[in-house]
């Protein structure tokens, strides 16, 4: 219990929350406008009821809905006007709502008719001079378009599912329509889609902020599936990854396709867009913003993700993360993760979590940063998962190997300059793992262990390789900036004799590591001058303020092309907690968190567990990313605004 209490303060991790919950009624502005949940049933708006009275059609509402709409269609053909087309769209929607349970096929046709007539109201050239965007009916037409399209898609998803590349047929009072579903824009392809959920069905619980844009289209949650022939980057996608898309229905033939001939057969395209890459589209001569929801698909994925559950395993049983269950270890869960597709030309921002944590700890910041169009257009976010029970320098060595492997997978011919502008963001111990990617070790770290050349060490080849990668390394030439948040650059007082002893009882290291370590000491007694560093077995031990690793790390030769930024937490000094944590974030003292070589340092009034989700910390990371772009724009070569980013020349050594 003592270790759990101490580590809970130090971890920055938390119990897995329910990020998204089903709503009792899907979110829609039509619910109130058309009284969809009223006991007396849906009801047309006052202007539509007036249209029915004027044309002596009110009594037909009780008859076959097709007959009613056929008569409305004849009124439109005799004297076309935008308000009549609006009335048709609204009546078709209401009749579809009534028919959903008894006749889904009829409901689908009626919803389709509602969508197509709302589209005519909004875009038909013949109504351009009369269309009034200040009329509440204009927004009502937008809501009818979105609401009817969503309701129709729900029926389609129940009847065999919505499948990219498939064609659906609907019948309207103006003729039959063949609607083909096509992927437009973004990196996803037809085979990537397993099924769709509706963003309006879910209420966000676990994310602080909900990012939506308003326009036309239906925000959907697309759930990805693995398939043959998928791109190499797919190895970094977590299982059942979900991502945002927006569906937009467009008649083929332009905004004037209205089907005056009842026997005509027309075509439409249900266009699927990724709002992370496409925010608006062009219809005729009009630029139309897409309705989008970036946060709900993320919350949906997080609610079903198992990444948060690995935080405790990674601390107490590092071997369970390091080794998969398969013979080739292909199913091991440590390493890089992407929750959006790899996109050439976008700069990676790699987020490295801290002690007793997982990539889930970054989702608040990721949700906020991705909401910025400029950041979304130029950056892609990656996450690193590693076992936090082992010393942080071992995790740093693993990250070096994993980054090298990722470059070989994503860009084997090194033709992608954006990958050479990488930004690392590390929280707590993750900041130490990140910083060690930018340092030239020389033989400084080996000298802490031995005065003899490393070549003299007697060990099995695998042990020698791992030992060498831990104590001898060079800076990653692709890393340009490192942002550390609440990082114990000089250790933490929470690593003391008591916590170290308890950790040694609870944290179970991989047996292979223990055996190889014992053999190393036995076979190299005359070479190892000081085995203190080699005997550090857990991350708790490695964070001790008196560890010899920290002074060497702070004095190490840093890559001249790297800029450091630092964010430090200080608990406000009020109340008992504030007094106990004075001069620290509750885990890391200011003296340990501060560094002299940072280009910028920001102090945030926050405790250690949540500092990386604090609004000021998020805004500071955003500022740094925008500053990075601004500096790149001032360099010769392609500009970030042209997608591909110029590489910064490495200073020769």
- Reported as a single tens digit per residue, the pLDDT across 432-470 is 999 999 999 999 999 988 999 999 988 888 888 888 998
Give domain limits for the chain: 20-296, 308-443+474-495+547-637
Cα distance between residue 216 and residue 141, in whole Å: 10
| 3-state secondary structure at position 455 | helix
308-443+474-495+547-637, which class in CATH? alpha beta
Q: Which residues of the chain have pLDDT under 50?
A: 1-16, 255-262, 313-314, 325-329, 497-511, 637-653
Give the angle 457-461-464 at the CA atoms, nearest 5°. Answer: 45
Q: Are 485 and 361 in contact (CB under 8 A)?
A: no
Contacts with 222 (C-beta within 8 Å, 6 or more apart), sequence order: 188, 192, 193, 196, 242, 243, 244, 245, 272, 297
- The dihedral sign for the CA sequence 496, 498, 502, 504: positive
pLDDT value for 257: 47
Q: Are 621 and 427 in contact (CB under 8 A)?
A: no
Cα distance between residue 269 and residue 257, in whole Å: 12
Closest residue by Cα to residue 157 from 190, 183, 188, 196: 196
pLDDT value for 343: 93
- Which pTM does this prediction carry? 0.87
pLDDT value for 491: 92
Q: Are 108 and 61 in contact (CB under 8 A)?
A: no
| First and final C-alpha spacing in the chain | 51
Cα distance between residue 217 and residue 36, in whole Å: 20
pLDDT value for 311: 54
Q: Are 294 and 371 in contact (CB under 8 A)?
A: yes
Contacts with 493 (C-beta within 8 Å, 6 or more apart), sequence order: 545, 589
Beta-ladder partners of 380: 348
pLDDT value for 130: 81
Cα distance between residue 514 and residue 110, in whole Å: 69
Closest residue by Cα to residue 198 from 177, 215, 217, 213: 217
pLDDT value for 320: 55
- 589: DSSP letter: B
Cα distance between residue 509 and residue 390, in whole Å: 7
- Reported as a single tens digit per residue, the pLDDT across 120-166 is 999 999 988 888 889 999 999 999 999 999 999 998 888 767 888 88
């Amino acid at each position: 219990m003592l270790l759990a209490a101490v580590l809970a303060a130090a971890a920055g991790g938390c119990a897995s929350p329910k990020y998204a919950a089903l709503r009792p009624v899907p979110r829609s502005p039509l619910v109130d406008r058309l009284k969809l949940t009223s006991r007396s049933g849906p009801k047309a708006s006052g202007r539509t009821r007036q249209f029915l009275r004027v044309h002596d059609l009110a009594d037909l509402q009780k008859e076959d809905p097709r007959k009613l709409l056929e008569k409305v269609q004849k009124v439109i053909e005799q004297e076309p006007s935008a308000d009549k087309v609006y009335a048709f769209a609204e009546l078709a929607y209401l009749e579809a709502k009534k028919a959903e349970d008894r006749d889904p096929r009829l409901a689908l046709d009626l919803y389709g008719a509602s969508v197509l007539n709302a589209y005519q109201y909004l875009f038909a050239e013949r109504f351009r001079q009369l269309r009034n965007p200040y009329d509440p009916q204009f927004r009502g037409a937008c809501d009818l378009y979105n609401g009817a399209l969503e309701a129709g898609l729900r029926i389609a998803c129940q009847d065999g599912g919505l499948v990219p590349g498939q064609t659906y047929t609907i019948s309207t009072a103006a003729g039959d329509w063949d609607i083909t579903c096509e992927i437009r824009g973004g990196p996803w392809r037809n085979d990537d889609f397993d099924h769709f959920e509706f963003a309006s069905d879910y209420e966000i619980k676990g994310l602080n902020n909900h990012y939506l844009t308003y326009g036309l289209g239906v925000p959907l949650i697309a759930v990805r599936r693995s398939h043959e022939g998928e791109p190499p980057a797919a190895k970094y996608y977590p299982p059942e990854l979900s991502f945002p898309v927006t569906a937009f229905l467009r008649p083929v033939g332009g905004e004037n396709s209205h089907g005056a001939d009842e026997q005509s057969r027309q075509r439409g395209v249900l266009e699927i867009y990724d709002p992370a890459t496409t925010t608006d589209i062009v219809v005729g001569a009009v630029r139309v913003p897409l309705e989008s929801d970036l946060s709900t698909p993320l919350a949906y994925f997080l609610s079903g993700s198992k990444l948060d559950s690995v935080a405790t395993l990674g601390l107490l049983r590092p071997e369970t993360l390091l080794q998969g269950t398969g013979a080739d270890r292909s199913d091991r869960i440590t390493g890089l993760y992407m929750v959006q597709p790899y996109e050439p030309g976008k700069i990676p921002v790699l987020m490295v979590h801290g002690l007793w944590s997982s990539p889930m700890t970054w989702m608040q910041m990721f949700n906020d940063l991705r909401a910025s169009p400029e950041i979304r257009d130029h950056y892609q976010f990656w996450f690193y998962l590693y076992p936090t029970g082992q010393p942080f320098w071992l995790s740093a060595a693993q990250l070096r190997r994993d980054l090298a492997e990722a470059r070989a997978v994503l860009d084997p011919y090194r033709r992608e300059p954006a990958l050479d502008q990488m930004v690392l963001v590390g929280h707590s111990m993750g900041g130490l793992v990140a910083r060690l990617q930018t340092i030239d070790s020389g033989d400084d770290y080996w000298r802490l262990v031995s005065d003899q050349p490393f070549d003299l060490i007697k060990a099995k080849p695998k042990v020698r390789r791992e030992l060498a990668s831990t104590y001898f390394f060079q800076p990653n030439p692709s890393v340009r900036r490192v942002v550390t948040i609440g990082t114990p650059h000089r250790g933490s007082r929470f690593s003391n004799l008591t916590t170290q002893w308890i950790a040694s009882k609870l944290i179970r290291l991989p047996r292979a590591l223990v055996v190889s370590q014992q053999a190393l000491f036995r076979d190299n007694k005359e070479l190892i001058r000081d085995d203190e560093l080699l005997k550090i077995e857990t991350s708790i031990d490695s964070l001790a303020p008196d560890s010899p690793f920290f002074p060497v790390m702070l004095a190490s030769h840093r890559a001249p092309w790297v800029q450091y930024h630092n964010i430090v937490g200080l608990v406000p000094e009020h109340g008992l907690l504030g007094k106990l944590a004075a001069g620290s974030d509750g885990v890391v003292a200011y003296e340990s968190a501060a560094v002299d070589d940072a280009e910028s340092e920001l102090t945030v009034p926050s405790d250690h567990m949540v500092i990386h989700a604090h609004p000021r910390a998020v805004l500071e990371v955003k500022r740094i990313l925008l500053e990075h772009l601004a500096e790149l724009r001032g360099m010769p070569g392609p500009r970030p605004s042209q997608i591909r980013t110029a590489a910064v020349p490495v200073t020769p050594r």
